[in-house]
Structure 1
Amino acid sequence: MRGWVRVLRWGLFMALTVFFVWGAVLVGAAEVSPPRVWAALLRLLREGLPGPSRLGVTDRILLYVRLPRVLLAFLSGAVLAGAGAVYQGVFRNPMADPYVLGVSAGGALGTATAVFVLPGEWLPLSMMVGAFTGGAAALLLVYGIAGSVRSTATETLLLSGISVSLFLSALLSLLLTFVRDRVGSLVFWMMGSFSTADWDKVGVALGLVLGEVLLVVPWVRDLDVLSMGDETAVGLGVRVVRVRLYLLLVVSLAASGVVALCGPVGFVGLVVPHMVRRLLGARHVRVFTGGLWLGGMVMVAADTLARVALSPSELPVGVVTALVGVPFFVYLLRWRRG
């Protein structure tokens, strides 16, 4: 019976994914009918991506604006939710995620530094390298501060992450004061946005998802052992320090890559793993894999709301996720205190 329930739950995930992606492609400032979407998708499957000059206005909007944006939002949400599941498992802390622990701020600082210091034809690659470097450095700094006081308590970890995040955000603001003439192009990105989505970014995001899955799934069962405590994990043959650093480095690099693509989008990695535990159970292989799907759907829903709430203007998607995530974060703090 439990097997059938599990199959039904995964079937529901798949159906909801199709529903969210389909609905997001239909919704927008320009009205698009479902038959027109089907026709454009079938053409994409048969012929590949046609050049913009060969498309009408509606098909150009679908294939070069709306569909890449929806896919980029889905893949980015999947990466962040998967990273949040791993963070919470490694730290045995339900309030850990890339945004709270300062990794997103580090990735943003690294990306902005690359934009202003290394402009030119290598800019996309340098942005990704800058994001990776900044995210990894932020994680190591948080981990070092928390470890320096010989405590991994919730309060210590959160205060370390918030302190590092504020410090790196201050450095980013300082950087922007020296390049005021070029700040305009980064303002919307700094609040989280998929408005610059294109097929190249979708390809990079797909690579981040595949990399995260391939590098995390073989080790994700060790998170169940780590949840029993370090002494028990060592007794069962888990190399605790090595596994922790490996998993943290992998998901931090993936989350930093998302920051380079769409800016720092917070709280998806915090909220989604809790939702998955309610739906699929607490085993980390389910939380991680289920989080990929649900994180993508949540991000697509948030970006769709950001696009249509003030149409024809749009909100930064980071504002939408924060409006949901901050109350949830406060709830978790009160729940743990109680």
Structure 2
Amino acid sequence: MSLVVFVLLPGVHLLDVAGPAQVFSTAADFGQPYRIEYVAERERVPSAQGLPLIARTGWPELSGDDLIVVPGWRTRTLGGGPALGHAGSEWLRGHHATGGTVASVCAGAEALGRAGLLDGRRCTTHHDHQDELAARHPRALVVRDVLFTADDRVVTSAGIASGIDLALHLLAVRHGPALAAQVARDMVVYARRNGHEPQSSAMLRHRSHLDDAVHRVQDLIDGRFTEPLPLARLAAGAGVSERTLTRLFHRATGGLTPLRYQQTLRVERAEHLIGHGATVESAARQVGFEDARMLRRLRTRTPREKAGEPSRRPTPADG
């Protein structure tokens, strides 16, 4: 069981807490071993939106698999806002030193900075506070115009709703992009990535639509992409005809067929295996190809095609 501990400071923004908490709570609903706790220096914590929160006091003992999240709070300046006390800062440092991950949302980066966890590391915060964060912590490498950063188990995100992106990123790192996509779909949010970075997986890249039939088919393909998946079987799972599924899938994913989507997942997995020392032949077999010829052919596609963006309009015959 992994513990996710939210550290609440006075004036905390509700969405900074609720967004990431919902991500991990939904992951737990899908069978992942997460338990959520809320801690603060005082039992009753006023929120920026007027709803008081109740938290346990005292700093729990954690393992390396546990996660600390410091949500942001309402403040005009980081220096003039609430501050985590010495014991809390020591607790943050100690958790990171023993292999744990520490994360922040919005102004929560200030608490990490005061604990010395931003020194020499990439980080970010709400755009209103980026200049002050850089001035207050000159050894920190403040990155602008990104949703979140991750550097040596210190993960920071920008303002308010970006805490959801941060939490989905952590799920993808810990459990793979299929779970992150499943949680994002259940929450009816798009699993966004930082604009200057490539999408980490087609499982996330092609989930920004709201077509439930296509999502059901993607769930099936995501979990079994190494197996033969005839179009008729996928269509039956979605409760539509093969022709209708091809049309819906093409529209929802920006031009893919189910077969092309499955091939994209296979190639991405094969590239990962090859990058970790597998031969092309071995990688091809592990991802479901009968031999390496098809994998070699798919790997020679244009960058646009390899990203899962077909250069022509597919037909139902494409599968």
- Tell me which protein shows more helix as a share of its residues: 1
Q: TM-score band, normalised by the shorter chain?
A: under 0.3
Higher percent of residues as strand: 2
Structure 2 length-normalised TM: 0.22
Q: TM-score under structure 1 normalisation? A: 0.21
Higher Rg of the two aligned structures: 2
- Higher relative contact order, chain-length normalized (CA < 8 Å, sep 6+): 1
